[in-house]
Chain A
Amino acid sequence: MELDVTKIREDFPILEREVNGKRLVYLDSGNTSQKPRQVIEAVREHFERHNANVARSVHTLGTEATAAYEGAREKVARFINAASPGEVVFVKNATEAINLVAYSMLGASIAKGDPRLSLGPGDEVVITEMEHHSNIVPWQLLCERTGATLRWLGITDEGRLDLSNLDELVNPRTKLVSMVLYSNILGTINDTTRIRVRTREVGALLMLDGSQAVPHRPVDVRALDADFLAFTGHKMLGPTGIGVLYGRSELLAAMPPFLGGGSMIETVTMERSTFAPPPARFEAGTPPIAEAVGLGAAVEYLTAVGMESVAAHETALTGYALDRLREVPELRIIGPSTTEGRGGTISIDFAGVHPHDVGQILDGEGVQVRVGHHCARPTCMRFGVPATTRVSLYLYNSTEEVDALVAALEKVRGVFG
């Protein structure tokens, strides 16, 4: 079903405001998305009517809050087609989700636990050159601490993963492959098929960073045959402070805890503790309850619109944006040049003007884009730029906004030409 962008926009109060005397043109959803009234209302209603701590109260409010929190888990599980809600662990953000797996593997490595999770000298972890720092640094730390070796797949000039040496990089020494589904800087949507097949062949685990994919495309963890999937609420219409680690239940059950504290235990004595089964084992302390409720509302909103419709709208808008940007002289698109296997995240290099300056002048026109290395410095280095100007589209963006961007780029030329 085709998405009615005019109607969608009415759900997002912030889109009515002005910036620097101009109509707001928000093209930075890859950074964080705007929130619909339905999400804002759900969080407000939770605080006004149901606020209490979860999983430890016998009183009515505590029961309601627990039901709302666990209800959000069920909604998220359905959204990504997890086999059960217990496969959804609530965390702070995608960064924490990836660190949870890395630190749990460190724990397993020290304790010489489950061989799938234990690393040592001679073992390897494989990532890609396209990763956000959050899917690089935790693995660097894990490898440094266990003596394992970090390896990575490169990127082609067209902004695709270079799979020419896949069979050499992913080999019987590989313990884990962790890769991004949708690049936050190039806009590339990776086909994971060949990597998945090779990962299974060598008996390694497969972790997917879905921070940009889950908000914009239908993502089915069982179809992807993922062991782990990390994503964050605030990029998919939900609040900040809530993220998700999906893990196959059998794997989560084999994993040692990450953070220790309340809610994650079974029995505690002064000498030692035993731990709750997942997902509680990985949710120490009071969780972000209202934020989870907000994420549940966001997932309901996206489900009602339909993720196929969201993806179709964004693909059409991306095609329009790529065409319009190609008309702009001295503008280079860094990343795939067609809508084939790409999403609405478009990095540009414009007339040699530094992205900071481009972003500043666009802001003067009300156009909000992100500038910098987008926490993907190795990708920038690969394309020989210190930074890029990044436009990222979402379901509420329109062709008029793309036109406003192109007009604002002409102003940049006026100042720096």
Chain B
Amino acid sequence: MEQLDRLYHDIIMDHYKKPRGRGLREPFEAQVHHVNPTCGDEVDLRVHLLGGTVADVSYEGMGCSISQASASVLHEVLVGRTVTHALSTVEQFTSMVEDSRGETTPDEATLEDGIAFAGVAKYPNRVKCALLAWKAFKDATVKAVAQAEASND
């Protein structure tokens, strides 16, 4: 059970039971719908950017504790960061949960509560759950930035 305790870390269970920032809100520049077709997990996610900063991330979804908690942590960690910092955080989070060999040392200062998902790397079939919202955020942010650039042209 020891390894399972690492997967179901207290921080993850706390975010799962008390999700932060859940619900779809206005205003937003981009909205995406991502699914995990093998298990049916789904997330709808909106981003609101303001002057190069992530002003809000709002989301609705259904899925397992890992996928739902990871959306909540994403909201808490990324809102208020610059777009550049937010996207580099997504990269770090992705590397951490895909690192099944434990070769990288995740940076707690950057990932904050996201660090609790380090244990997911030992469960290859749960990596997609942990990344669902993060991939959706990246997709939505890229869309919102492209849209902003297009309207500036």
Q: How far is the CB of B72 from chain A (nearest CB, A)?
A: 14
* Chain B residues, CB < 8 A from A416: 65
Of the stretches B1-9, B79-87, B99-107, B143-151, the one at the interface is: B1-9
Do residues A377 and B64 form an inter-chain contact, with CB atoms below 8 A? no
* Chain B residues, CB < 8 A from A387: 39-40
* Chain B residues, CB < 8 A from A371: 39
Contact with B along A400-417 (1 / 0, CB 8 A): 000000000000000110
Q: Which residue of A lies closest to B2 (CB)?
A: A364
Q: How far is the CB of A97 from chain B (nearest CB, A)?
A: 23
B38 at the interface (CB under 8 A from A): yes
Q: Which residue of B lies closest to A374 (CB)?
A: B40
Of the stretches A52-60, A270-278, A353-361, the one at the interface is: A353-361
B63 at the interface (CB under 8 A from A): yes
A120 at the interface (CB under 8 A from B): no
A216 at the interface (CB under 8 A from B): no
Size bin of chain A's contact surface: 10 to 19
Q: Which residue of B lies closest to A354 (CB)?
A: B64
Do residues A386 and B42 form an inter-chain contact, with CB atoms below 8 A? yes
Do residues A356 and B126 form an inter-chain contact, with CB atoms below 8 A? yes
Do residues B63 and A356 form an inter-chain contact, with CB atoms below 8 A? yes
B74 at the interface (CB under 8 A from A): no
Interface residue ranges of B78-115 to A (CB < 8 Å): none
Do residues A364 and B39 form an inter-chain contact, with CB atoms below 8 A? no
Q: How far is the CB of B42 from chain A (nearest CB, A)?
A: 7
Do residues B40 and A373 form an inter-chain contact, with CB atoms below 8 A? yes
Do residues B1 and A357 form an inter-chain contact, with CB atoms below 8 A? no
Do residues B39 and A356 form an inter-chain contact, with CB atoms below 8 A? yes
A62 at the interface (CB under 8 A from B): no
B49 at the interface (CB under 8 A from A): no
B50 at the interface (CB under 8 A from A): no
Q: Given A354-B65, A386-B62, A415-B8, answer yes or no on A360-B123 (Cβ-Cβ < 8 Å).
A: yes
B44 at the interface (CB under 8 A from A): no
* Chain B residues, CB < 8 A from A356: 39, 41, 63-67, 126, 129
Interface residue ranges of A348-376 to B (CB < 8 Å): 353-357, 360-361, 364, 371-373
* Chain A residues, CB < 8 A from B66: 356-357
Among B7, B38, B42, B62, which residue has its beta carbon within 8 angstroms of that of A360?
B7
A181 at the interface (CB under 8 A from B): no
Among A360, A364, A372, A377, which residue has its beta carbon within 8 angstroms of that of B126?
A360
Interface residue ranges of B28-81 to A (CB < 8 Å): 38-42, 62-68
Interface residue ranges of A129-172 to B (CB < 8 Å): none
Q: How far is the CB of B11 from chain A (nearest CB, A)?
A: 14
* Chain A residues, CB < 8 A from B1: 364
A380 at the interface (CB under 8 A from B): yes
* Chain B residues, CB < 8 A from A364: 1, 4
* Chain A residues, CB < 8 A from B64: 354-357
Q: Which residue of B lies closest to A380 (CB)?
A: B40
Do residues A386 and B40 form an inter-chain contact, with CB atoms below 8 A? yes
* Chain B residues, CB < 8 A from A360: 4, 7, 123, 126
Do residues B4 and A354 form an inter-chain contact, with CB atoms below 8 A? no
Complex-state Cα separation, A176 to B42, whole angstroms: 34
Q: How far is the CB of B9 from chain A (nearest CB, A)?
A: 11
* Chain A residues, CB < 8 A from B8: 357, 415
Q: Which residue of B lies closest to A411 (CB)?
A: B1
Q: How far is the CB of A398 from chain B (nearest CB, A)?
A: 25
Q: Which residues of A are in contact with B by a Cβ distance under 8 Å?
A: 353-357, 360-361, 364, 371-373, 377, 380, 386-387, 415-416
A-B contact pairs, 8 of them (CB 8 A): A355-B39, A356-B41, A356-B65, A356-B67, A356-B126, A373-B39, A386-B40, A386-B62
5 pairs of A and B residues whose beta carbons are closest in the complex: A356-B64, A354-B64, A386-B40, A373-B40, A372-B39
